[in-house]
């Protein structure tokens, strides 16, 4: 008997689509070629595409329900790297550098982290919010954080920025 899986996250690119299933499988469905798949340690809670040197998405970042951040190569459909930021579900991801070498991570418990191979100790805990960050974005020297209907503009230490929204 075939096990039925449910798509819980999806992302479209100019080259194809990525779907994350409830059994922690991520499937790359290119417009040209065969589907490829990889399994991560926990079901994905958020997806982020990283643009490579050719101007197309060539890697994805999948935050998962167990506090993991998985860097996946689309070409080989393999997990290149995994970072663990805690035990709380990852709610939001944002590239914090143009090269995509460091990623901002917002978690269900309100913690905000930076991860990457060039980040000291691979994971840096930045600050804690009073609730989950639904979305993160770097604007100039500030972080714009969406929490439900409220938007906060904070510095990299989590203190309110002098810039007004």
Residue 160 within any structural domain of the chain: no
Overall average pLDDT of the 130-138 stretch: 92
CATH of the domain at 73: 2.130.10.10
In this structure, is residue 163 part of a structural domain?
Answer: no
Total number of domains in the chain: 1
Q: Which residue range(s) make up the domain with 38?
A: 7-154
Q: Render pLDDT for 28-86 as a digit per residue (tens, 0 to 9).
A: 999 999 999 999 999 999 999 999 888 899 999 999 999 999 999 999 999 999 999 99
The β-bridge partners of 84 are 68
Domain presence at residue 1 = no
Q: Is residue 164 part of a domain?
A: no
Q: Please check whether residue 119 lies inside any domain of the structure.
A: yes
């Amino acid at each position: 008997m075939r096990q039925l899986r449910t798509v819980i996250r999806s992302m479209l690119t100019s080259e194809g689509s990525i779907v994350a299933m409830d059994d922690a499988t991520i499937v790359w469905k290119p417009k040209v070629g065969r589907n490829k798949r990889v399994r991560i340690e926990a079901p994905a809670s958020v997806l982020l595409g990283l643009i490579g040197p050719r101007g197309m998405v060539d890697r994805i970042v999948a935050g998962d329900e167990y506090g993991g951040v998985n860097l996946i190569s689309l070409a080989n459909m393999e997990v290149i790297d995994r970072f663990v930021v805690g035990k709380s579900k990852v709610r939001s991801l944002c590239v914090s550098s143009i090269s995509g070498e460091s990623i901002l991570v917002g978690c269900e418990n309100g913690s905000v982290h930076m991860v990457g191979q060039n980040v000291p100790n691979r994971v840096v805990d930045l600050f804690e919010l009073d609730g989950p960050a639904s979305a993160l974005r770097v604007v100039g020297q500030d972080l714009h954080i969406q929490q439900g209907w409220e938007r906060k503009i904070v510095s990299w230490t989590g203190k309110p920025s002098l810039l007004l929204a």
